[in-house]
Amino acid sequence: MIIVPFLTPADFAQLLANGRRTAAGEQIDPVPVVKLFTPDAAATWLLTEIDPAEPDRAFGLCDLGLSEPELGYVSLSELGSIRGMLNLPIERDALFVGTAPLSRYASAARASGIIVEMPDNPSTPEP
């Protein structure tokens, strides 16, 4: 298990479980497990899974604050080394609860240019 201060053991376990499902060939569109952000910059990550073959590699929606959020892989150790303008590390949004599959967050982010909160009702149509 990769130790990073912004993931709880429960987060890591769920991310890894989702990654195992994908590695087994299952087509999944999970709800984001964790939201990470830079408290002194505009970057945000919604992570859904960790690659079981490379547990430092996570998949999710990445927004570096450049108005071009995209789906992709990130290195957890590299995230751990990122510091914003005030030298603050990445934090986990302890209040975040995913309410829709990652594809809905990605669609809304592409439309707005940033990662946005989804309505509490997952059946609500996309913006």
- pTM assigned to the model: 0.90
pLDDT score at 4: 87
Q: Which of 22, 18, 20, 48 is nearest to 35 (CA)?
A: 48
Q: Which of 76, 101, 100, 98 is nearest to 89 (CA)?
A: 76
> Where are the domains positioned within the chain?
9-112
Alpha helices in 1-127 (DSSP H): 9-23, 76-81, 102-112
CB atoms within 10 A of CB 110: 14
pLDDT score at 119: 66
CA-to-CA distance for 30 and 48, rounded, in angstroms?
Answer: 6
Q: What is the pLDDT along the chain (127 residues), one digit of tens a residue?
A: 677 889 999 999 999 999 999 999 999 999 999 999 999 988 999 999 999 999 999 999 999 989 899 999 999 999 999 898 899 999 999 999 999 999 999 999 999 999 998 866 444 444 4
